[in-house]
Every structure is written in structure tokens, then in C-alpha cells.
């Protein structure tokens, strides 16, 4: 079985970390990752940028609505994610709009850049 | 992380929210600060045993409000009762409090707290000092050190600023769109001042001035409150890029390393990437502003893998746009650097000579002028300009940098005479 493990925390507090502390936490997390990667069990790992870097694509009555900031409703649940390598925010938004167009549900796509990405090892 | 360090961090990150809410309750900065201090003391006593509360800000607000009310009652025994409007929202229950924290109150509370520090009656230095003391919670000693004044003088400055704010009355009405935009502009300018205060401090003092990190934290906080303001995106991007060069700006001996000589592998790519995304977001709004343009200029430097690859044409054009938007001799001075790269030192010198009167007391003017004169072989004049710059230097790193110029000037003069 493949599992996604999602990290939640108070961003205000993480933003108040000193660079030294941040580096230390990333190194400690990296050490745990390393063990699982060596066992062939760890796929991609990503840390997202602060929510202030996000935009959100939502279906509107006539056209898509693109809003600044993260997805903030609590009625919906986190269902999945995509990792995309493009040059500009515009391209990323275009991708999200294409997903939205073919998705019959009224869901929302948050576009959030990655701050850290490790492709991991091949897993099945 | 030690327990104490963890608690300290939680108190720091909860501070703007908690102080903002306590200011709303007590409508008085001193009372709000005392209440917050008291809540922090109780947190240090109880959190280690009972573990962290689920929402530290809500806990601090609840405890701070109760202790603040106690204080007001105690004083009331010795003094005539304060008018009812001194306190507000006393009927709140705890559950009500939690509801409020989830709502728009956060935003209004924090914004009010920031706006209060930027009262137009306060000079810029007092705005910075007040914001760092009240919103960020830096100690008077830390602030005094950065401003190169005694602790007592800074204490007095902050007390005076608070008195002025109190006398002017704290604005509790919700601002309309125009007033809010104006206030946002004022707060953004204050945050940039805070950043620059740290940025210009120089290497030896760097470790003790958390101003830059504090400014970034405040900018991100403001952007969270106003997620669709392109100028706040621009401000955040600008200071992120400037801060990304921290490790490259000084050499091992604490000497300034110019942008073109910096080791670009030392730049913090994570900060630059975040800034580039914010600029992309801002551009979508198609309402350019001074911070966005400055961020775009900084981004052109950040995108160049080597100094030689810098897009000076674009930078020159952006500075021209900035000059139209916000005419200032300092902007022209910066533009002159781009002009010197594109058209040579003579054209750049012609651009800045008319600024001599206005920028006579400005370190960078004489530093740049000396550099341009040196390139043109006008050594005697270059020497005079560098001497003037050294006299105006405010940090030892600045003075040392100009001295390097003078040394190389001497060498060039000597070889020219041979």
C-alpha cells in the first residue's frame, strides 16, 4: 500500500523559526527520510512554501476564479496532489484550470510552490 | 529544542494576535502590554507541567484579559472608577473568545496594532522602535543597540511615542477602503524601514540585530491578512531577495562585498524562489507600485547567474519607471549604476552631478561618485569624494570598503605617474 503522510502545523510559529533552527529541523527530518529511502520505501518528499505564496483556482459561474492565498475552507477535504515542473506561475495556473475543467466535481485547486523537493527512490 | 526555547517561540509567534486582541479589550497600550506580560509569566509557569495549549494565542488572550481586568479593579480601589468605555467586551465567555479568534477579528486586531505604531505624529525612528517593542516584542536593549543610543534614551523615546499614541486616541472604527489602503501603505513603509535598519547594520553588529528576520515575519503576516495586495507582495519579495544575500554580503573579515563581486552560490535560493513567485502573483494584478518595481529590479539581479549576465537594460528601464512613480534623488543615484554599466562612467556621472546638493550628506552618493571619477582617471577628484564618503560612513564596514577604494586608487595613481 502506498501512503501519503501530510504535515500540518501553525505557520506563524514555523515562520518565527530562526534559520539555524529551520536548518536543524530539516536535517533531523532528512535523517529519518534517509533510513526509509535506503530501505527502498520512500518516494517524493516536498516542503511547501508559506501559504502567502499560494493562489487558488475555483470554478466560477462563467469563468474560473483565481484568488490570492491558500485554500481556506474546512468543508472540503484534502484529496490529492500533483507535482508540476514549469517556469512560471501562469503555467501552473493553466494546468490547474485544465484539471478543473475535466473534473466534474466543484472542487478547488490550490497552486502552491515547493520550497524543498526530494524525488526519493523508485517505489512500487 | 529545549522546553524554554519552545515556549519562547510560541509566545513570540502568538504575540501580534494576542497583543492585538488585548489592545481591543483594554483600549490602552500600557494595559495591554502589562496583561500580555502577565499572561507570558503564567505560561512559563504552567506550560512546562501541563503541556502546550492547543491554541497558544487564545490561551494568552484569555489569561491576559483576566489578569488585566484584575489590575483595573485593583487600581479602581485607589482611584475613581474608570469610565465604562475603558474596557470593552467584558461579557465575552471563553467559547465566545474561540469563535472570535477564528473570524475576521484577528485581521482587524493585528492591523490596528500595526497602524497604531505608525501614527503620523510619530517620526520614522519612533515608529520603528514602537513596532519592534509592541508588535515584535524585542527588548529595549536590542532596539537601543541597533539605533546606537543608550537604553535609557530608547526607553524614553518609546515612552514618549506611547504617550503620543494615547493622546491621539487609538482608532477603533473599521476603516473604509480608501483609509485602509492608505494605512496599508504606511504600515508597509514602516516594515521596510525596520528591514533597512537591520540590513544597513553591517557585519559585526549583524548577529545581534534580528530586525531583518522580524521585518520578513511582519511582511508575511501582513500578506496573510491582505492576500490580494500586490504592493505587499512586492514588499515581501523585495526584502526576501535582499535578505537572501546575507551570507554573501560580507567576507570573513566583515568587509562589504559588492553585489557584482558576491559569491552567488551563497545566496539563499529558497528565499529567492519564494520572492519570484510573489512577483509573479503581483504582476497578475497589473497595478504596479514602488515596492513591486524594486522587487522586480532585485529579481533581475537574483536571476543572473553571474554579474556579467545582469540585464542592465531592464534594470535601467525599471528605475526610470520607479522615478516616474516616485521621483527621488536616491532612485536616480541607483539608476546611475545601471547607466554606468550600459553607457559608461561619463554618462552616469552626468546623471548624478545635479544631485550633489541634495545628496551632499549621503554616504552612497560620494562612494559612487568617487568610483565613477576613478574609472575616468580623475584621481584627485575621486580621492576627495572617497574622503567625503569615509567621513559619512556609519559602520566600520562601510568605512573599510571606501578605504579599499582609496588603496587601489593610490596604486593606480602611482602606476599612472611612472
When comparing pLDDT for B66 and B198, which is higher? Answer: B66
Proportion of chain A above pLDDT 70, given as a percent:
99
Ordered by start, the domain boundaries in chain B are 1-103, 106-227
Region of poorest pLDDT, from A83-87, B196-200, B317-321, B353-357 = B196-200
Q: What is the mean pLDDT of chain B?
A: 88
pLDDT above 70 (res B88): no
Interchain pair A67, B223: CB under 8 A: no
Cα B245 from chain centre? 16
Q: Give the pLDDT confidence of B350-386 residue by residue, as tens digits.
A: 999 999 999 999 999 999 999 999 999 999 999 999 9
Q: How far apart are CA A113 and CA B114, in angstroms?
A: 29
Mutate to test the interface with B, among A16, A90, A113 (most CBs of B within 10 A): A16
pLDDT at B388 over 50: yes
Name residues whose C-beta falls within 8 Å of residue B362's C-beta, 6 or more positions apart in sequence: B330, B333, B392
Mean pLDDT of B282-309: 96
Task: Enumerate long-range contacts of B117-125, CB under 8 Å, 24 or more apart.
Answer: B117/B165, B117/B190, B118/B183, B118/B186, B118/B187, B118/B189, B118/B190, B119/B164, B119/B165, B119/B168, B120/B186, B121/B164, B121/B168, B122/B161, B122/B164, B122/B165, B124/B190, B124/B193, B125/B157
Question: Among all residues of chain A, which has the CA nearest to that of B2?
Answer: A21
| Region B1-103: CATH code | 1.10.1740
| Contact of B230 with B247, CB cutoff 8 Å | no
B54, burial (CB in 10 Å: exposed 0-12, middle 13-18, buried 19+):
exposed
Residue recorded with cell 485581521:
B107
Please compute the mean of the pLDDT values over residues A20-31 and round it to a whole number: 92
Q: Could A16 and B217 be called an inter-chain contact, meaning their C-beta atoms sit closer than 8 Å? A: yes
Chain-centroid distance of CA A56 in Å reads 12
Which of 185-244 (B) contact A at CB < 8 A?
213, 217, 220-221, 223-224, 227-228, 233, 236
Of B14, B217, B278, the CB nearest to A53: B278
CB contact under 8 A, A16 and B227: no
Taking each continuous run of H as one helix and of E as one strand, the counts in chain B are 20, 0
Query: What mean pLDDT comes out for the span A2-16?
Result: 88
Residue B251's SS3 state is coil
Residue B80 banded pLDDT, cuts 50, 70, 90: low
| Per-residue model confidence (pLDDT) at position B209 | 62
The shortest C-alpha distance from A1 to chain B (Å) reads: 32
- pLDDT, residue B92, reads 45
* Tens digits of residue pLDDT in B236-279: 999 999 999 998 998 888 888 999 999 999 999 999 999 999 99
Q: Residue B175's pLDDT band (boundaries 50, 70, 90)?
A: confident
* Cβ separation A67–B227 shorter than 8 A: yes
* Per-residue exposure over B140-156, b if at least 16 CB sit within 10 Å of its own CB, e if not: bebbbbbbebeeeebbe
Lowest mean pLDDT among B87-96, B152-161, B172-181: B87-96
Taking contacts as CB-CB distances below 8 angstroms, the residues of chain B near A90 are: 280, 284
* Minimum Cα–Cα distance from B12: chain A residue: A16
Give pLDDT, residue A76: 84
Q: How confident is the model at residue B45 (pLDDT cuts 50, 70, 90)?
A: very high
Amino acid at each position: 500500500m502506498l501512503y501519503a503522510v501530510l504535515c500540518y502545523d501553525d505557520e506563524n510559529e514555523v515562520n518565527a523559526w530562526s534559520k539555524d533552527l529551520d536548518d536543524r529541523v530539516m536535517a533531523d527530518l532528512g535523517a529519518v527520510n534517509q533510513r526509509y529511502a535506503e530501505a527502498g520505501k520512500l518516494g517524493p518528499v516536498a516542503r511547501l512554501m508559506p501559504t502567502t505564496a499560494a493562489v487558488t483556482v475555483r470554478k466560477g459561474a462563467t469563468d474560473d476564479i483565481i484568488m490570492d492565498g491558500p485554500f481556506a475552507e474546512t468543508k472540503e477535504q484534502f484529496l490529492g496532489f500533483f507535482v508540476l515542473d514549469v517556469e512560471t506561475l501562469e503555467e501552473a495556473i493553466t494546468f490547474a484550470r485544465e484539471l478543473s475543467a475535466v473534473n466534474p466535481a466543484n472542487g478547488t485547486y490550490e497552486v502552491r510552490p515547493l520550497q524543498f523537493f526530494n524525488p526519493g527512490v523508485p517505489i512500487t | 529544542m529545549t522546553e524554554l526555547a519552545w515556549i519562547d517561540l510560541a509566545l513570540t509567534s502568538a504575540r501580534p494576535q494576542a497583543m492585538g486582541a488585548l489592545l481591543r479589550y483594554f483600549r490602552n497600550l500600557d494595559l495591554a502590554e502589562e496583561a500580555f506580560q502577565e499572561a507570558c509569566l503564567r505560561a512559563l509557569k504552567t506550560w512546562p507541567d501541563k503541556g502546550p495549549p492547543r491554541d497558544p494565542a487564545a490561551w494568552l488572550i484569555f489569561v491576559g484579559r483576566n489578569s488585566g481586568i484584575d489590575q483595573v479593579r485593583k487600581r479602581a480601589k485607589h482611584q475613581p472608577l474608570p469610565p465604562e468605555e475603558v474596557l470593552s467586551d467584558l461579557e465575552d465567555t471563553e467559547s465566545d473568545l474561540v469563535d472570535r479568534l477564528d473570524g475576521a477579528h484577528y485581521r482587524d486586531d493585528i492591523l490596528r496594532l500595526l497602524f497604531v505604531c505608525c501614527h503620523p505624529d510619530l517620526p520614522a525612528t519612533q515608529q520603528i522602535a514602537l513596532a519592534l517593542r509592541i508588535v515584535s516584542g524585542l527588548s529595549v536593549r536590542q532596539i537601543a543597540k541597533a539605533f546606537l543610543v543608550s537604553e535609557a534614551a530608547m526607553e524614553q523615546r518609546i515612552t514618549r511615542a506611547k504617550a503620543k499614541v494615547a493622546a491621539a486616541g487609538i482608532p477603533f472604527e473599521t476603516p473604509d477602503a480608501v483609509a485602509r489602503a492608505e494605512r496599508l501603505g504606511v504600515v508597509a513603509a514602516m516594515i521596510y524601514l525596520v528591514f533597512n535598519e537591520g540590513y544597513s547594520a553591517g557585519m559585526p553588529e549583524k548577529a545581534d540585530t534580528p530586525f531583518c528576520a522580524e521585518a520578513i515575519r511582519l511582511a508575511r503576516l501582513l500578506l496573510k491578512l491582505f492576500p490580494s495586495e500586490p504592493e505587499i507582495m512586492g514588499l515581501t519579495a523585495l526584502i526576501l531577495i535582499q535578505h537572501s544575500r546575507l551570507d554573501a554580503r560580507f567576507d570573513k573579515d566583515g568587509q562589504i562585498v559588492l553585489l557584482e563581486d558576491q559569491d552567488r552560490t551563497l545566496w539563499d535560493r529558497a528565499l529567492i524562489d519564494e520572492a519570484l513567485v510573489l512577483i509573479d502573483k503581483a504582476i497578475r494584478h497589473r497595478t504596479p507600485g514602488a515596492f513591486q518595481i524594486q522587487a522586480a529590479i532585485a529579481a533581475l539581479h537574483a536571476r543572473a547567474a553571474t554579474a556579467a549576465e545582469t540585464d542592465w537594460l531592464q534594470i535601467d528601464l525599471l528605475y526610470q519607471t520607479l522615478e516616474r512613480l516616485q521621483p527621488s534623488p536616491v532612485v536616480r543615484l541607483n539608476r546611475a549604476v545601471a547607466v554606468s554599466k550600459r553607457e559608461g562612467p561619463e554618462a552616469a556621472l552626468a546623471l548624478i552631478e545635479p544631485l550633489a546638493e541634495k545628496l551632499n550628506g549621503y554616504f552612497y552618493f560620494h562612494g559612487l561618485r568617487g568610483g565613477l571619477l576613478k574609472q575616468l582617471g580623475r584621481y584627485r577628484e575621486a580621492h576627495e569624494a572617497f574622503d567625503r564618503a569615509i567621513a559619512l560612513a556609519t559602520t566600520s564596514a562601510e568605512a573599510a570598503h571606501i578605504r579599499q577604494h582609496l588603496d587601489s586608487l593610490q596604486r593606480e595613481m602611482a602606476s599612472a605617474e611612472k
